[in-house]
Structure 1
Amino acid sequence: MTGALLSRQCGRQRPAAPEANRTQAQFPVVPPAKAGGAFLAFAAGDALGWPQEIPRNVRSSAHGASPRMEFQTWTRRTGGRFRPYEETIGAGEYSDDTQLTLAVARSRTNHSADWWKAFMRVELPRWTIYERGGGGATKRAAQAWLAGSPPWQSGKMDAVRRYFDAGGNGVAMRVLPHALFLAGQDDSAVLVHDVVRDGAATHGHPRALVGATACAYAAWSLARRHRTLGFGELLDLLIDEHSGWGAFPDMERGGEAWSAAAARVLDEPYERLWQRTVDEMRQLLEQARNGIRAGALADDRAVLDDLGCFGRFKGAGTVTAAAAAYLAARHAAQPAQGVLRAAFERGTDTDTLAAMTGGLLGCLAGDEWLPAPWRDVQDAAYLRRIAGQVALGPSGAEQRPVETPAATQSILTDLARNGDHEVALGESTRVQATALPDLKPLSNSITVHAWRLRTPEGQTLYVTRVEENRRSRRAGPPKAEPSSVRRPSSDPATSKSDPATPAVSDSGADVAVDQGDALYAEFQRQLRTLLSNGPARPKRIEEALGLIPLQVRKWLERMEHGGEIERASRNPVTYALTRKTLL
């Protein structure tokens, strides 16, 4: 995004940004118990629902189990059809929902006015190294930011269209930090501004953005309340105050480049599409309210079915937001039951639904209701600590410089060293890395290495690296890449759908070579660095960049055709930067 996002909201002037490193006394705008309860319940719902989400990926009894408060260790099948392997997920470990929520929270608390720059330039690209279970649209966008360009500025029209078609719940699931951070603001326009700004970094369809603003508005309203919530009252609030979360945002969200890209690929003006989506969201909330009027006899599964939670739109931002609001309103008096209902409603996006439901109920009821096992969810101490920082609001945010993240290949190379050691993730971020036993491959052609990283703040990150065994290849060095940057599988059992219209496979047909613009741009950048030291043979390029020969040959031909590189010699073949590139 080249310009400021939403310089105004509905004609109202946005309040001035908080001053950096304010020195006045810092008092939480949200009670720490509410903030901590919301973060812990969010992560617990994520951890409980993750093994229930995609049955074909689970190789243990965790899937299909009766609802229970305790976390379970389970085995996950991942890697797609060509590089399948099994990964053991420890009891209470969370997925991408909590990972990205923490990424937003760090951006807000550490970088004040530059939070969005930190999120898109540091947190999203870095997440590609350690993501667990990420949705297709978010991963594609993260790869684009990793390559240095917004997803709506891809060179391929199909990629831009996919960005504007992305209407999944990948935005709504990460809005909790915004709601708590801005709970002291009386004008909801500030909240909507920041949620849309965050969301547009990965998703372009109003289904993603409107679902996110509605969920954020619900959490923001609950965090500000000082009394208990009546049965179904949250749905009444969202319906009655739809102008607070549904107002059309200023079209400066990404500058002229964003608006021009939207106009090129959409069949109607964005404002009209936004308003139709707001109407859709209101209708979903009305359906939820009708379902809750049955009182204690309300059939949760039937209501969720009516909302579309088990159909082709189950991962849509609007559907998941309406479902989370329903479960929070329905189970306000028994919050744990609401989270369990979401986590074990098999056939829907269980981890995201349970996480969002838990976050809303934590904003309502604090932390006293949390069952004992949920207080030991992965990184519980860090979750409480960063929740407390978020609860301070803008006055407690720091203005740290936005660092330059380390290159993916540099991190992976550093991880390959033996023993426990420190690894640099950026100019000022170092983590403690511990090598784990290799994961179980489901193909003889690969080896899968794994590491556990521990940040100084206390978050745990897991990184896997897939290597193609040398004996399975005719030529060239082993292929090595983080599992999160592999081309997404077309098998719907291996990745989340992220729909705006009927769910579409994350990648289409599986292919051996990925020529996506984001990864190609990263290849260009790394190759320029390598060739700046002199000509190199293709084999040297393969070894240095950790790519298979076919991939390297295709991209070298593309760069040669574009005049960026040239053959410095024919026998042996070597490549060098052209004069144009050097200039």
Structure 2
Amino acid sequence: MQWEAVRASAQWAAYGDALGFITELTDTAGVRRRIGRDDVTTTVPWKRRVGGRYGRDMPLPAGAYSDDTQLRLATSRAIRGDGEFDAEAFAKIEVVAWQAYALGAGRGTKAAATGLMRVEAKWSQNIFATKAARYVDIGGNGAAMRIQPHVWSARDLTNWDNITRDVVRNAVSTHGHPRGILGAVLHAVLLAHALDTMELPGPKQWRPAIDWLEQVPDIIAKDDELAYLWLPTWSDAAGIDFRSAAITVANECRAALEAFEPTSPLTTETYAALVEQWGGFNEATRGSGTVTTLLAAVLAHAYSDSPEAGLLLAANTLGSDTDTIATMAGALLGAVTAGPPPGTVQDAKVIDSEARRMWDISQGREAATFAYPDLLRWSPPKATLDLVGHTPMGPALAGLGPLTPMDPPATSNQATYVWGTLSFGQSILVRARPDLRPLDENLLPGDVRQPRGRPAGDARPAGDAPREQQLLFEAPLQAAASAEQRPVLAGTAPEAVSERAHRHAPPPVEEIVQELARNGFTPEQVGRALLQQIRGGRYSVERAAAFAGLLARAYHQDDQ
């Protein structure tokens, strides 16, 4: 895998997102209101209503991207310098913080993000059911659109087991329907093929990739947290067997491809007919994780020689999921395209930097790790409006750190909106209270907190303010660093080259419990085994919980 391919995949994915974001969920008249013409030809400045029916029409710069790229960058940050995906930090910090700046978010992912604010919710235990949504019914493309970093950082693109494991860990934190989970896996293995062979996957590769979906239950069974924490809870809530569900989804994808004629040119008319045939215009199925993945794969294959035309076709097919189909097709097309996209992409330097970090990880090179807040002390505000608060350093976003406002705020009936820049360069349009409340320092990244015991007189003026709240757009306390001066991944700490491939992996929890059962569950051995799980480093809490659950089942079975 070459650095240029990863970089282009990331940039073309963001470009497709930016094109399709302009036309998302509107008609020709709506496109005309947004950009002054009937169709999209490149990225341009435009306006969009944010915050729902009673929100505000906010100006968006050329190349502004939606939740697709936002959550892709969040996924990337959650991949540590050693290549491990920090599923808990992604779910509990990134997805929760994202609610303050989400653009174009789907109902399912928003409902899942709200669920993750619960203290008891974990990445593997975000089972919820509300009037608006049920976890096990969320099968949209909100997972598939964000999982590319797992492929970009993969050390072995032919090892679909490892890629699938991390993709599933990512997906299940928000999506509980097999179409949402398996659609993400399907897109990941197709992208892995493109980066490995430098050729876009076609019909001959689509079918083996679909066949792979039936292997996903085996990948889940090999992972302690997925097998012993997520799967039993999911099965109880869904009332079905995941293996049977995986076969059903794979058969749906096979049936869709049987109705597709790959030798016919994919014109505006034939693409629209395919979208119609696969339910891409139907509100109930438009955002399906599998439908979107297949449409993106078809577009990429048909437009391998003219990627811009393929993304414009996706973006201008109004009534379909324009931004997500275009962003996923862009990730595939970029993998085999030399050079950047032809139009402006917002935060191109940040996207480049994260793509470079993913590539460094894939090559086993030293890479930085984002310094997330300590999850043991992480307790986000109950209201999403309070995710942005004031600190002694000025405004900050919970989990991600200092926020420098770039424009005067715009107020609505319920909130204030303002464009700001995070310390590592990403631009976000935040929704917050006009009078910010204090943000607990435990919600800040580890490298931006004030040193403990600092004399009160040393605090910055905003921290000394006698009132409990602070206006969002007060004069900045210090000049913001320029994009060139600012560290691209502030909030990170360098780490050594990964030794993951050489580490001795702990024995599976199932083997430990089997050994305890053979020895009669002696208290000393049980206690020692539990302590081993607790002391097991990363995911020790999840491993301990999985161990306890499996131990209880095995003990009662043995007792019977």
The alignment's TM-score, normalised by the length of structure 1, stands at 0.66
Give the distance between the partners of 1:454 and 1:147, measured in 2 at CA.
28
Structure-2 change in CA distance of 1:194 and 1:463 (3 Å): same
Q: Which whole-Å CA distance do the structure 2 matches of 1:94 and 1:313 have between them?
A: 23
Q: Which residue of 2 aligns with 1:348?
A: 320
Aligned residues: 430
Distance in 1 between the 2:370 and 2:129 partners?
Answer: 37
Q: CA deviation at 1:117?
A: 2.5
Q: 1:165 to 1:412 in 2, by over 3 A?
A: closer
2:203 to 224, 235, 248: 235
Q: CA RMSD in A?
A: 3.6
3-state SS of the aligned residue for 1:122? helix
Equivalence for 1:213: 185
Cα offset for 1:392?
2.1
Aligned to 1:99: 70
1:61-100 → structure 2 map (5 Å cutoff): 61-62=33-34, 65-81=37-53, 83-100=54-71
Q: Secondary structure at the match of 1:367?
A: coil
Counterpart of 1:167 (choices 130, 139, 144) is: 139
Shift of 1:399: 5.1
- Name whichever of 325-334 and 267-276 sits farther off: 267-276
SS of equivalent to 1:146: coil
1:126 aligns to what? Answer: 97
Shift of 1:356: 0.7
- In structure 1, what is the equivalent of residue 167 of structure 2? 195
AA aligned opposite 1:367: G
Amino acid across the alignment from 2:158: D
For residues 22-421 of structure 1, what are the structure 2 equivalents within 5 Å? 30-55=1-26, 61-62=33-34, 65-81=37-53, 83-110=54-81, 112-113=83-84, 115-148=86-119, 149-150=121-122, 153=125, 158=130, 162-182=134-154, 184-226=156-198, 228-229=199-200, 234-249=202-217, 250-251=220-221, 252=224, 254-288=226-260, 290=261, 292-295=262-265, 299-311=270-282, 312-367=284-339, 370-371=341-342, 373=343, 376-394=344-362, 395-396=364-365, 397-398=367-368, 402-404=372-374, 407-408=380-381
Asked if 2 retains the 8 angstrom alpha-carbon contact of 1:40 and 1:383, the reply is yes
Name the residue aligned to 2:395: 423
Structure 1 match to 2:521: none
Q: Which SS does the other structure have where 2:395 is aligned? A: strand
> 2:428 pairs with 432, 441, 461, which one?
461
Alpha-carbon distance between aligned partners in 2 of 1:319 and 1:299, rounded to the nearest angstrom? 16
Bigger shift: residues 117-126 or 213-222? 117-126
Scaled by the length of structure 2, the TM-score of the pair is 0.69
Structure 1: gaps (5+ residues)? 1-29, 468-477, 481-542, 545-583
Question: CA shift at 1:160, angstroms?
Answer: 11
2:394, 2:266 → 1: CA distance? 54
| 1:89 aligned partner, one-letter code | L
Offset at residue 70 of structure 1 (A):
2.4
Q: C-alpha displacement at 1:400, in angstroms?
A: 5.6
Aligned partners of 2:163 and 2:354: how far apart in 1? 19
Against the structure 1 CA distance between its residues 156 and 354, is the aligned structure 2 distance closer, same or farther, given a 3 Å change threshold? closer
**1:423/1:328 CA distance change after superposition, 3 Å:** same
- For the residue of structure 1 that corresponds to 2:346, the secondary structure is coil
Alignment pair present for 1:450 and 2:417:
yes
Gaps of 5+ in 2: 438-467, 470-560
Q: What is the rounded CA distance, in whole Å, between the counterparts of 1:423 and 1:65 in structure 2?
A: 38
**8 A contact 1:434–1:451 mirrored in 2:** yes
| Farther-moved stretch of structure 1 (163-172 vs 70-79) | 70-79
The structural deviation recorded for 1:79 is: 3.0
Matched residue of 1:123: which SS? helix
Counterpart of 1:439 (choices 382, 407, 410) is 410
1:154 and 1:459, CA in 2 relative to 1: closer, same or farther beyond 3 A?
closer
Matched letter for residue 143 of structure 1:
T
Partner SS state of residue 112, structure 1: coil
Give the Cα–Cα distance (whole angstroms) in 2 for the partners of residues 356 and 108 of structure 1: 20
Indicate conservation of the 8 Å contact 2:31/2:38, yes or no: no
Summarize the Cα distance change of 1:393–1:69 in structure 2 as closer, same or farther, 3 Å threshold. farther
Range with greater deviation from structure 2 (250-259 or 401-410): 401-410
* Amino acid corresponding to residue 333 of structure 1 in structure 2: D
Distance apart, 1:80 and its partner CA? 3.2
Q: Secondary structure of 1:247's match? A: helix
For the residue of structure 2 that corresponds to 1:33, the secondary structure is helix
Could you tell me how far apart the structure 2 residues matched to 1:161 and 1:70 are?
35
- SS of residue paired to 1:433: strand
| 2:154/2:361 contact within 8 Å kept | yes
Over 3 Å counting, the alpha-carbon distance change for 1:167 and 1:64 in structure 2 is farther
One-letter code aligned to 1:453: G
Aligned to 1:581: none
Distance 1:66 1:184, change over 3 A: farther
SS in 2 for 1:346: coil
Q: Is the 8 A contact 2:100 2:388 kept in 1?
A: no
- Tell me: CA distance 1:153–1:296, structure 2 relative to 1, closer, same or farther (3 Å): closer
Report the Cα distance in structure 2 between the residues aligned to 1:132 and 1:163, rounded to whole angstroms. 21
SS of residue paired to 1:462: strand
Change (3 A) 1:244 1:79: same
How far apart, in 2, do the equivalents of 1:432 and 1:151 lie?
Answer: 26
When residues 64 and 261 of structure 1 are mapped into structure 2, their CA distance, relative to the original with a 3 A threshold, is farther
Q: Which residue of the partner structure matches residue 10 of structure 1?
A: none
Provide Cα deviations, 1:414-460, integer angstroms capped at 9, x if missing partner: 96769x96434458x5324216334364xxxx164223332232211
Contact preservation (8 Å) 1:324, 1:356: yes
How far apart in 2 are the matches of 1:79 and 1:426?
20
**1:33-81 deviation line (CA, Å, top 9, x unaligned):** 1111111111111111112112289585336944444222222223334
Identity %: 27
